Amino acid sequence: MKYDVIVVGAGHAGVEAALSCARMNQKTLLVSMLAENVGATSCNPAVGGLAKGHLVRELDALGGEMGLITDEAGIQFRILNATKGPAVQGSRAQIDMDKYKVIARTTVLNTPNLELLQESVDDLIIKDGVVVGVRTDLLNEYMATRVILTTGTFLNGVVHVGEVTKKAGRYGEFSATKLSDSLTSMGLNLGRLKTGTCPRIDTSTIDFSIMEEQGGDVKPNPFSFRTPRDKFREEKKQLPCYITYTNVDTHSLIASNFHRAPLFTGQIDGVGPRYCPSIEDKINRFKDKDRHHLFIEPQTAENTECYINGMSTSLPPDVQQEMIHSIEGLENAKIVRYGYAIEYDYVDPTELKHSLETKKIKNLYLAGQINGTTGYEEAAAQGLMAGINASLANQGKDEFVLRRDEAYIGVLIDDLVTKGTKEPYRMFTSRAEYRLLLREESADLRLSQYGHNFGLIDSDQMDKVNIKAKEIKTGLQKLEETFYTPNKEFISFLESIGEAKITDKILATSLIARKSFTLDKLLKLIPEFEIYDEYIQEQILIEGKYARYIEKQLDDIRRMKKNINMKIPPNFDFKAVRGFSSEVIEKFEKFNPPTLQAASQISGITPAAIEILHIYIKMAAKKAKESK
């Protein structure tokens, strides 16, 4: 029972880790407590969202599986922030939760080099500071060159429903208590986090007629670059979601039961996600709000059960019943499953290298919620990266680390391993300094070559990416070489498409940079672009419209790379730098980094702080030169 890689846990991180290892020709064992729960979506029936959609697209571009499964299991597809700029738009899909895990399990079982095992890992086998295998609850030992832990919420998990607590990783499933103790005994620094889920409602007991309907996009876009878009749009059947609201009665009821809420009684110690609070936390924190959105989301294509997005709770069952019945459209709703909170252990991610290998235990990798993140997408992205790096290490190759300017995945991992986290980490577009370069639709152009090099993206798909890149480049060259003059004919043309006239000679890229300039107008301006696929046309418009801003970000990146090895003077006064927080000053004085590169590796130091430091070093050098 010897393997190249053992992956412990078969959630989203585990599935991606195991598949990537097996596809990179590693003999891989995936260990799950319940084989039927491989790829289970434990909480919400959705994939993607703002910034999370970026992660799924990047994962797909590298050869991951989440986007493909989502396209097959999806029952509604929408672009969020569609009226805003392309850098902050995000794809989101409602999924059939049952179908999703069936597809994930089927994919795992049909992948060469990959075995699935239903046991519970209790301990890691360590020799001289190196992990060499795992020991299960059945006292079986499985040996491997490398081990990846993707334990989700199962590490010492405790479920809370009102005053009732249960040892569980998910409701009804055993907690991994012994493994948590094992990690602590190895010297890893563990913390405690909390997350939760909402009640599920029998769909037949909901009155949708008095709710706001929210449908999918008329022209839905698939998540995966490998899914044929036209065929997808023709065949995909979508279901609507609905919006309703809490009210003052709901809030009063919840507030009057704070004394029974585990979140406030001291029953829960773990820190919850700040950006996805429970309903009782919302009522407590936002007392001035008269209502909060609730999204009623179908959990399967059959739509027999609905998820109440926005009502995560650990209040007692009787209170959950009352608060559900206080909401418009849910007056007669029947709860199928009660909401609950779950506390679990996680490992301080500053214990990790950028490859996701632990610093203290060689050949041991961690991915997903064990690293302090929340969400399927963040977990899956880490799982893929851990799988790739474990495989590369077994092949004697260099580790694979994405930079912050290359991918949201790079931002995610860099944030975790350099800054750590004290609350469940969630990805946002605001975390990415170069988000205009990291748009969703450009993920394949940025990352597919890596996936192809690893054997995770086939040659046919790589050829398609190269053709796409070439067509976009050709279109942009046309824009950059085309000028228009303010003659009568052209001014008349501008008026015909609803655009203001020009008074001077203008470059095409400057003209289409106008906020009012749409794809339809671009095709009238340059009809030869009609030979391209709609997708290519859209990218030419976006790249052309934001050309100046994109070039500026590229200049920033080039400058950062050029200056990263700049030396910091030995007696540099960090306190004299305006814009540094006391925490940043304290860290710089403590570690006294010799170069900007070394400074950038200090936990909690952002690229913005490095840029400020760079400016002040240059100013100090200039003053020293002038004083001579």
Model confidence pLDDT, tens digit, residues 33-46: 999 999 999 999 99
Residue 36, C-beta contacts closer than 8 angstroms, at least 6 positions apart: 101, 105
Q: Decide if 133 contacts 147 (C-beta within 8 A).
A: yes
List, in sequence order, every residue forming a beta bridge with 161; answer none if it has no partner: 164
Do 336 and 352 belong together in one domain? no
Measured CA to CA, the distance from residue 214 to residue 482 in angstroms comes to 42
310-334 pLDDT per residue, tens: 999 999 999 999 999 999 999 999 9
Do 332 and 449 belong together in one domain? no
Do 473 and 437 belong together in one domain? no
Give the N- to C-terminal CA distance of the chain in Å, as an integer: 71
- Judged against a pLDDT cut of 80, whether residue 601 lies above it is answered with no
Measured CA to CA, the distance from residue 560 to residue 408 in angstroms comes to 18
Listed range (87-101, 198-212, 335-349, 546-560) with the worst mean pLDDT: 546-560
Q: What tokens were used for 465?
A: 């990416």
Would you tell me how many other CB atoms lie within 10 Å of the CB of residue 192? 15
Q: Decide if 262 contacts 314 (C-beta within 8 A).
A: yes
Check residue 70 and give its pLDDT. 98
- Judged against a pLDDT cut of 80, whether residue 232 lies above it is answered with yes
Average pLDDT estimate for 110-137: 97
pTM: 0.90
Report the CATH number that the domain containing residue 483 is assigned in CATH. Answer: 1.10.10.1800
Confidence class for position 98, pLDDT limits 50, 70, 90: very high
Do 274 and 397 belong together in one domain? no
Q: Decide if 577 contacts 616 (C-beta within 8 A).
A: yes
DSSP 8-state code for residue 273: P
Do 426 and 379 belong together in one domain? yes
Closest of 17, 117, 25 to residue 366, by C-alpha: 17
Listed range (245-259, 539-553, 566-580, 600-614) with the worst mean pLDDT: 600-614
537 domain residue, yes or no = yes
More confidently predicted of 570 and 451: 451
Measured CA to CA, the distance from residue 335 to residue 63 in angstroms comes to 39
Of the chain, the percentage scoring pLDDT greater than 70 comes to 100
How many separate domains does the chain show?
Answer: 4
Closest of 270, 260, 257 to residue 195, by C-alpha: 270
330 domain residue, yes or no = yes
Do 499 and 514 belong together in one domain? yes
Do 433 and 322 belong together in one domain? no
Residue 471, C-beta contacts closer than 8 angstroms, at least 6 positions apart: 532, 536
Check residue 433 and give its pLDDT. 85
DSSP string, 336-384: EE--EEEEEEEE-GGGB-TTSBBSSSBTEEE-SGGGTB-SHHHHHHHHH
- Give the distance, in angstroms, between the CA of residue 530 and the centroid of all CA atoms in the same chain: 34
392-428 pLDDT per residue, tens: 999 999 999 999 999 999 999 999 998 889 999 999 9
DSSP 8-state code for residue 501: -
559 domain residue, yes or no = no
Report the CATH number that the domain containing residue 621 is assigned in CATH. Answer: 1.10.150.570
Residue 318, C-beta contacts closer than 8 angstroms, at least 6 positions apart: none
- Give the distance, in angstroms, between the CA of residue 515 and the centroid of all CA atoms in the same chain: 29
Measured CA to CA, the distance from residue 44 to residue 298 in angstroms comes to 10
Check residue 261 and give its pLDDT. 94
Last residue of a domain, one of 428, 454, 480: 454
CA angle 63, 436, 386 (to 5 degrees): 30
Measured CA to CA, the distance from residue 513 to residue 551 in angstroms comes to 14
Q: Across all residues in the chain, what is the average pLDDT?
A: 94
More confidently predicted of 437 and 5: 5
Q: Provide the domain limits for residue 606.
A: 564-627
Do 18 and 33 belong together in one domain? yes
- Judged against a pLDDT cut of 80, whether residue 299 lies above it is answered with yes
Do 46 and 174 belong together in one domain? yes
